[in-house]
Structure 1
Amino acid sequence: MPEDVVTSIHMFLDSQQPVFVDDAAIDARQAMFIFTTNEGHTVMRSETARLLRHRDRQDLRHRDFEPLLQAIITEANPWLAHKGVVHLYAPFLPMTRVEVREFIVSRFKEYACQFRVDLTHDDDVMSFLIGEIGFDANGFTEHGLARIDEPTLLTEVKGPLQDLIEDYNNRLVKPTAIHMSMDKNNKHRVAFDVKSTLHSDSHKTQHQQQHQHQHSKADL
């Protein structure tokens, strides 16, 4: 077996099963290992572009890429291709602006759940974020989802959003609705507008005590 393949899975292989990796119990005898590679990515991008000229992305099937995948793997690693170690070769299709938009929207929903806030945005924000991601001549992203998460979304949205919420929390105030738009003074920066807030219980108690104290003085 190729050395790099052995290296990638050696932590899971032990006479005692299951093994614990990152606090997760994994039994190699029942596990499915997924290996990813960039081998043949240029050819795959060209073939995807060719197919998309005549069909919708949702209509593409695994069989459309199977012969090409087999040829790529056979050339890159004949041992894997002929020993039957890999049961299925699956293509990772390059993303267009449509898939990038869907991914960013899904991330916005995750941020809203994580920070427990109603998060909305202008269309300009989405256009800006998509524009920050590189696309080739076929309209495909130059990088995968991980590069969209970081640095683009982390730098432009998640990081500043988290800082804003922490700043409010330090003042015992919880933002409940935040709207994102492009900064009027900086067209390359997202601005965050807190639309509604909720005072924490401790802040409410302190405010009520101060109000009661002032009311008592007035009675005197």
Structure 2
Amino acid sequence: MAKTKVRRISANETTARSEQVATASAVPSERVTGPAWAVWILARFPGVRYRYQSWGTTRRVVMAILLYLVALPIIPIVIAAVWYAKDPEGFKKSPLMPVLVAVIAAWLGGFGWVANQTPITDGTPMASVKSSADGETSTANSDPAATATQASKDKIATQQKSNATNGRHFENCTAAFDAGVFDIARNNASYERRLDRDNDGIACEK
């Protein structure tokens, strides 16, 4: 008669196995799901639908927002183009046609407005743009305060260093030159753009 060998599990082995199971169950899953709406958007774009699974939550949210703002407005354009190509008369008579056209026009108009924005100035009316000989543009200041009389220029002609401004605000560059002050840098408390003749960051240049 064959003897059946029974292996006794010691208390130490039981404790070790229990610790392994506890450790394994305590390890958090590294799988990132992310917001459901972000996953819904990412899963519908060919360029990212098979790549977003390895992304973290932050990247998923950012990419989903970008795709929503940039790519999704194109959908009405595609729908309108396909519809019109298949059934021009039906497209024109459909009540949805004005809606699609309005959405497309609003999106294209907004995109064009943003793309054609000019540089923002501080709103001063004296700022104008001039073209130089080499094709570069520079901003000129036509405010009379930025100019000085010849007599005041003669006063500082031989002066090598400007006197301290002490935070004073001058009526014009003539007053600044009369006080022995010139070449006021932008980081100086006395700097005012209206006194900067060529808007290069130096007011009342000598």
| Interval of TM-score (by shorter of Structure 1 and Structure 2) | under 0.3
Which structure has more relative contact order (CA 8 Å, sep 6+)? It is: 1
Relative to total residues, which structure has the larger helix share, 1 or 2?
Answer: 1
Relative to total residues, which structure has the larger strand share, 1 or 2?
Answer: 1
Larger Rg: 2
TM-score of the superposition, structure 1-length normalised? 0.25
